[in-house]
């Protein structure tokens, strides 16, 4: 039985729903801890006298660590399993965040945030990989995006939690909560989160364990049935080498470039949009906060809508169109900056396009890479994106220091976004050629080392004769 085809033919059941829901909560814990320092920053300035420059370093420490966490965790997940890496990441950043509650100075806090960031970089891409391997391709993009919405929900809940905890327990209480929550999610995941069936078959051929998981999907598997993967899902090269093989190299570069630019734009606007609107348009602090909030409001709607469209159309065409619309709206902001209502609408649409495209690229990468290198492919793309996010914090400060206003920032930022549109179109063209060219998308030779795939192919050829 080919497990890829069996999952694609099966209706989405309760077991798969559990995987998506657990993925949502894992990514929710990740989103909460990524932004948690922003909610306690005012108290740190008041209690410790932390300078704005030191706060910038504090914010960047976890982002920088996520680059390394993502790069390291992908190959580990392709070697040892998705579940063990996801659980380890939850324990790692949960423990690091809880430990930060006991820091006595800014330097120690920065070090602990860097340590926690290593785990934060591993959680999201490997959770996305695991979810993508349990859902049918006809709904893969949408369900992966549903799980990824947990990041936005976690970030939003962080603000509500901080508003409740800080008056009663101070800023340290917020960090304790941010550490305990992922540890509780990890305990639930130990019980209910399954290992990837594809990983079990691709790496160690654990037929008995894979069969039990397949039966939980509602698929009847006789004891004599051998479970297999599509030939294109097995790659003999190591996971890192696979990303650079001729059939994946160009696509990898396009994904890295696009994700770097899109997260650079998303994080720059998320961090600096209130200041840009206030200084550039002459609005009050409250008005600027409302307009910036609309950017975040548009995000979840874009994530779900773009995921739904990706399952029904060309994935790259949907993402490319969304990025093009976002770039056009960014250019249009220069013409409506003085109209507050139109500015809010534009901010929501830009958030819809950019956030939706960023999350959609996770689903795109999960569908692009084979099982044996999927975690590495998604994680490395995430690492490049986190690098862009880290640089956005520095770039935003420089632009403000140079006296740039909102209209100039939006105009210049639209240029690399337009480059991403071209990158997505080229990626789509390359993917069509890769899948249409015989032998280009299929690994040569048996990848599992036992000759099973080769033997089955030979039997089928003899039967055909």
CB 196 within 8 A of CB 86: no
Q: What is the pLDDT of residues 328-339, one digit of tens each?
A: 998 887 777 677
Q: Within this chain, do residues 24 and 13 fall inside the same structural domain, yes or no?
A: yes
Mean pLDDT of 80-90: 95
| pLDDT value of position 447 | 36
Q: Within this chain, do residues 221 and 247 fall inside the same structural domain, yes or no?
A: no
Domain residues for the domain of 29 are 1-234
Whether residue 288 lies inside any domain: the answer is: yes
Q: What is the pLDDT of residues 257-306, one digit of tens each?
A: 999 999 999 888 877 777 777 766 667 767 777 777 788 788 889 999 99
Q: Which residues pair with 2 in a beta bridge?
A: 228
Q: Within this chain, do residues 364 and 340 fall inside the same structural domain, yes or no?
A: yes
Mean pLDDT of 135-140: 92
Distance (Å, whole) CA 348 – CA 345: 5
CA 134, 140, 146, 152 torsion: positive or negative?
Answer: positive
Whether residue 420 lies inside any domain: the answer is: yes
CB 82 within 8 A of CB 129: yes
Query: What SS3 class is residue 417?
Result: helix
Query: What SS3 class is residue 370?
Result: coil
Q: Within this chain, do residues 217 and 250 fall inside the same structural domain, yes or no?
A: no
| pLDDT value of position 26 | 97
Neighbour count for residue 436 (Cβ, 10 Å): 9
Whether residue 464 lies inside any domain: the answer is: no
Q: Within this chain, do residues 174 and 251 fall inside the same structural domain, yes or no?
A: no
Whether residue 139 lies inside any domain: the answer is: yes
Number of domains in the chain: 2
Whether residue 165 lies inside any domain: the answer is: yes
Q: What is the pLDDT of residues 155-212, one digit of tens each?
A: 878 878 888 898 889 999 999 999 999 999 999 999 999 999 988 888 767 788 888 8
Q: What is the pLDDT of residues 10-27, one digit of tens each?
A: 889 899 999 999 999 999
Whether residue 84 lies inside any domain: the answer is: yes
For 183, what's the count of Cα atoms within 13 Å in the CB-facing half-sphere?
Answer: 14
**Helix or strand holding residue 290 (H, E):** helix 285-310
pTM equals 0.84
Q: Within this chain, do residues 39 and 165 fall inside the same structural domain, yes or no?
A: yes
Whether residue 458 lies inside any domain: the answer is: no
For 52, what's the count of Cα atoms within 13 Å in the CB-facing half-sphere?
Answer: 3
Distance (Å, whole) CA 209 – CA 55: 48
Q: Within this chain, do residues 3 and 82 fall inside the same structural domain, yes or no?
A: yes
Whether residue 262 lies inside any domain: the answer is: yes
Q: Within this chain, do residues 15 and 86 fall inside the same structural domain, yes or no?
A: yes
Please report, for the domain that includes residue 169, its CATH number. 1.20.1250.20
Q: What is the pLDDT of residues 303-321, one digit of tens each?
A: 999 999 999 999 999 999 9
Q: Within this chain, do residues 263 and 129 fall inside the same structural domain, yes or no?
A: no
Residue 386 has what DSSP assignment? H
At which of 184, 216, 234 does a domain end? 234
Q: Within this chain, do residues 294 and 315 fall inside the same structural domain, yes or no?
A: yes
pLDDT at 341 over 70: yes
CB 405 within 8 A of CB 167: no
């Amino acid at each position: 039985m080919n497990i890829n085809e069996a999952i694609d033919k099966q209706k989405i059941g309760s077991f798969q729903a559990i995987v998506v829901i657990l993925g949502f909560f894992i990514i929710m814990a990740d989103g909460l801890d990524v932004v948690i320092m922003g909610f306690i920053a005012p108290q740190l300035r008041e209690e410790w006298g932390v300078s704005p420059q030191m706060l910038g370093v504090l914010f960047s420490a976890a982002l920088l660590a996520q680059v390394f966490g993502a790069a390291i965790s992908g190959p580990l997940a392709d070697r040892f399993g998705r579940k063990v890496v996801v659980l380890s990441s939850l324990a790692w950043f949960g423990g690091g965040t809880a430990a930060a509650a006991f820091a006595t100075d800014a330097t120690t806090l920065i070090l602990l945030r860097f340590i926690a960031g290593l785990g934060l970089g591993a959680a999201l891409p490997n959770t996305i990989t695991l979810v993508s391997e349990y859902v049918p391709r006809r709904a893969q993009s949408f369900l992966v995006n549903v799980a990824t919405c947990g990041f936005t929900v976690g970030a939003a809940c962080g603000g509500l939690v901080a508003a409740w905890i800080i008056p009663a327990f101070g800023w340290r209480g917020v960090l304790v909560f941010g550490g305990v929550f992922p540890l509780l999610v990890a305990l639930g995941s130990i019980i209910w989160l399954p290992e990837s069936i594809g990983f079990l078959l691709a790496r160690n051929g654990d037929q008995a364990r894979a069969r039990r998981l397949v039966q939980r999907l509602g698929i009847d598997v006789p004891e004599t049935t051998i479970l297999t993967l599509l030939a294109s899902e097995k790659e003999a090269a190591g996971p890192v080498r696979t990303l650079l093989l001729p059939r994946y190299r160009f696509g990898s570069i396009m994904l890295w470039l696009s994700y770097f630019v899109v997260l650079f734009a998303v994080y720059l606007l998320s961090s600096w949009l209130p200041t840009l609107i206030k200084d550039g348009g002459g609005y009050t602090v409250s008005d600027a906060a409302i307009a910036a909030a609309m950017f975040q409001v548009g995000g979840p709607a874009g994530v779900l809508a773009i995921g739904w469209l990706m399952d029904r159309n060309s994935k790259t065409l949907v993402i490319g169109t969304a990025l093009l619309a976002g770039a056009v709206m960014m250019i249009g902001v220069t013409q409506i900056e003085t109209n507050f209502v139109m500015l809010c609408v534009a901010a929501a649409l830009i958030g819809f396009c950019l956030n939706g495209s960023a999350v959609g690229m996770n689903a795109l990468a999960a569908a692009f890479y084979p099982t044996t290198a999927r975690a590495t492919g998604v994680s490395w793309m995430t690492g490049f994106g986190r690098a862009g996010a880290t640089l956005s914090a520095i770039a935003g400060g420089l632009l403000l220091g140079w006296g740039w206003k909102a209209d100039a920032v939006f105009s210049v930022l639209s240029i690399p976004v337009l480059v991403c549109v071209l990158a997505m179109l080229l990626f789509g063209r390359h993917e069509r050629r890769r899948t249409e060219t015989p032998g280009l998308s299929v690994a040569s030779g048996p990848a599992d080392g036992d000759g099973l795939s080769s033997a089955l192919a030979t039997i089928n050829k003899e039967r055909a004769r």
